[in-house]
């Protein structure tokens, strides 16, 4: 499980982190990421403000499509996203 880790890093570094997690997952296991998932559309959302702040630090918040692509690049299949009452969501993947 990674909580608030991936948003600190650009995609290439995150791909490496996720790839190592995938390599360490037991058969039938999952990789769980707890992070902000930016909603689609042009509606105001606090996660979009956090995204701007993270860009200053070479990180970023990601959309579902961004996570799906990032997981795929690391050899993972995104299986589900669980939205919580907070800004954080639970993003789950399994080895592809």
**Coil, strand, or helix at residue 25?**
coil
As a whole number of angstroms, the distance between CA 96 and CA 94 comes to 6
- Concerning whether 43 is annotated as a catalytic residue, the answer is no
Catalytic residue among 2, 4, 5, 7: 7
Alpha helices, DSSP H, located in the chain? 11-24, 46-56, 64-73
Nearest to 62 by CA among 43, 86, 85, 81: 81
Active site residues: 7
């Amino acid at each position: 499980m990674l909580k608030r880790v991936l948003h600190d890093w650009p995609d290439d570094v995150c791909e490496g982190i996720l790839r190592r997690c995938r390599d360490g997952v037991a058969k039938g296991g999952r990789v769980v990421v707890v992070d902000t998932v930016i909603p689609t559309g042009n509606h105001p959302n606090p996660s979009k403000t956090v995204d701007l702040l993270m860009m200053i630090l070479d990180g970023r918040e990601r959309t579902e499509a961004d996570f799906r692509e990032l997981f795929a690049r690391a050899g993972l299949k995104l299986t589900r996203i669980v939205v919580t009452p907070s800004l954080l969501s639970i993003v789950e993947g399994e080895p592809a």
